[in-house]
Amino acid sequence: MAGQNRACHPAPYPRQTFSVKLHQTPRPTIALVTGFGDDYLQIGERRVSRTVLLAPGLVRDDWGASRLADLSSEDFAAIVALDIQILLLGTGPTQQFPHPSLLRPLIDARIGVEVMDTLAAARTYNILVSEGRAVAAALLLDPAGGDRHANDTGAPS
C-alpha cells in the first residue's frame, strides 16, 4: 500500500478536554505549611514564629528549642509517641546534622530521620502527609531571622 494517499477521517465523537487533578486534597484535620517568611511559617491560617512540630492532626508550637544546639534527646523522645515512620528535621536556614545521641530515642523506636533545611523539610512534609504517609516534621525557626526573603523558593539570596 506504499504510495497510497489515505484520508484522515475525523473521530466519530467530539474532542473533549479533561481536567485532571494530580494531587490528593488532604483531610481538613491535616495542617500544611502554606507560606513562610524570614521569621515565621504559615500553617494553614495560623502564623507560627517559633519552632513547631507538625504531624497529622497535630500542630505544637512549644516543641523543643529554636536552635539545634539547644535540643536534647528528651525533645526527640516525645516524638516517639506520635506513631510515625519518619521525622523530617528542619534545622533552620541551612542543613545541620544533630549529634547521633540526640536521635537515639528515634533510632531505638525504628523511626527514620531525614535532616534538611527548614523550608525543604516543610515542602517535603506537605507532600508526604498529603500522600497519607506516617510523617512528622520538627521545623526549627532561626530566631535571628536567617538570610531568606519572604516567599522565596528556598535558594539562598
Are 89 and 113 spatial neighbours (Cβ–Cβ below 8 Å)?
Answer: yes
Over residues 94-141, the pLDDT tens digits come to 999 999 999 999 999 999 999 999 999 999 999 999 999 999 999 999
Domain assignments of the chain as residue spans, ordered by start: 50-139
CATH entry 3.40.50.300 includes domain 50-139: no
- Flag whether the pTM goes above 0.95: no
Are 67 and 143 spatial neighbours (Cβ–Cβ below 8 Å)?
Answer: yes
Q: What is the sign of the dihedral through the CA atoms of 66, 36, 59 and 98? A: negative
Q: Looking up cell 516534621, which residue turns up?
A: 137
